[in-house]
Amino acid sequence: MLTAIDPMASVTQALTTLSGANTGTSAISTSGTGTSSAPFSDLLTDAVGQVNQLQDQARAAVTGLMTGSGVDVHQAMIATQKASMAFELALAVRNKALQAYQQVIGMQF
């Protein structure tokens, strides 16, 4: 049976960690020290890993459906939709990060 991973819950948790809502301190430091509890790159790496895991689960569900090994259509469709939504969310985050980077590069000092 496939394990359920909620992509929105993982993104919400990552954003909460990044904003420091649980601890009262922000993971982004505005002072010169630059210390943080979870680097942004680690959050992105974890999110990409979770997207990859959802895609692997969807692939396994579709393969199980096609081979007739006990996976029903509903499970396969839910798994593929979760993987699709997680990928679209990761793509949107990447696009926003790239857009922000391009804006910073375009600034004149």
Report pLDDT digits (tens) over 97-107: 999 999 999 98
SS3 state at 89: helix
Domain-located, residue 11:
no
pLDDT at 95: 95
Predicted TM-score (pTM) of the model is: 0.62
Contacts of 10 (CB under 8 A, 6+ apart): 46, 47, 50
- Write out the residue range of the structural domain in which residue 74 sits: 39-109
Alpha-carbon span 26 to 36, nearest angstrom: 8
pLDDT digits (tens, 9 = 90+) for 11-65: 556 555 554 544 444 444 444 455 557 788 898 899 999 999 999 999 999 999 9
For Cα atoms 62, 53, 72, give the angle at the middle one, nearest 5 degrees: 25
Domain-located, residue 63:
yes
Structural domain count of the chain: 1
Domain-located, residue 57:
yes
Contacts of 106 (CB under 8 A, 6+ apart): none
